[in-house]
């Protein structure tokens, strides 16, 4: 990729390498992310197939059930029926400090 650019000036090689790396990562993930695909039986054990999470996944993959919304999507920010209470103000007390003693009152010589 970079061998033809050595005779040019003002080429940001770090950016070109980064761009190439990002392209490779995105291309790799596009081929592996297959939504709606069902896992092969050879790749799952009986323990996995009997789990609650796998049964939910399998129902969504087949199309029997719709996926559940995430907790953040279920709870709305501006919901007035929230269980949290607004914070109450606590009274603050001020502590009076004792008057400071001067150096001569402590018995020290001033410098």
Evaluate whether 94 touches 88 at the Cβ level (below 8 Å): no
- DSSP count for the chain of H helices, then E strands: 4, 0
- What is the DSSP code (8-state) at residue 83? S
Three-point CA angle 6, 27, 60, nearest 5°: 165
Under-70 pLDDT residues of the chain: 1-8, 27-37, 67, 70-98, 101, 103-106, 110-111
Give the per-residue pLDDT at 45.
86
- What is the DSSP code (8-state) at residue 111? -
Give the per-residue pLDDT at 12.
78
Residue spans per domain, the chain: 1-33, 36-69
CA–CA gap between residue 91 and residue 88 (Å, rounded): 10
Give the per-residue pLDDT at 97.
67
Evaluate whether 2 touches 10 at the Cβ level (below 8 Å): no
């Amino acid at each position: 990729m970079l061998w033809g650019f050595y005779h040019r000036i003002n080429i940001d090689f770090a950016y070109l390498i980064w761009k190439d790396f990002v392209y490779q990562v995105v291309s790799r993930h596009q081929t592996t992310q297959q939504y709606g695909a069902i896992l092969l039986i050879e790749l799952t054990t009986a323990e996995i197939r009997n789990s609650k999470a796998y049964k939910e996944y399998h129902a969504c993959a087949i199309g029997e059930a719709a996926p559940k919304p995430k907790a953040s999507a279920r709870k709305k920010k501006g919901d007035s029926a929230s269980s949290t209470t607004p914070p109450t103000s606590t009274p603050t007390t001020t502590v009076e400090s004792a008057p400071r003693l001067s150096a001569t009152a402590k018995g020290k010589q001033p410098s």
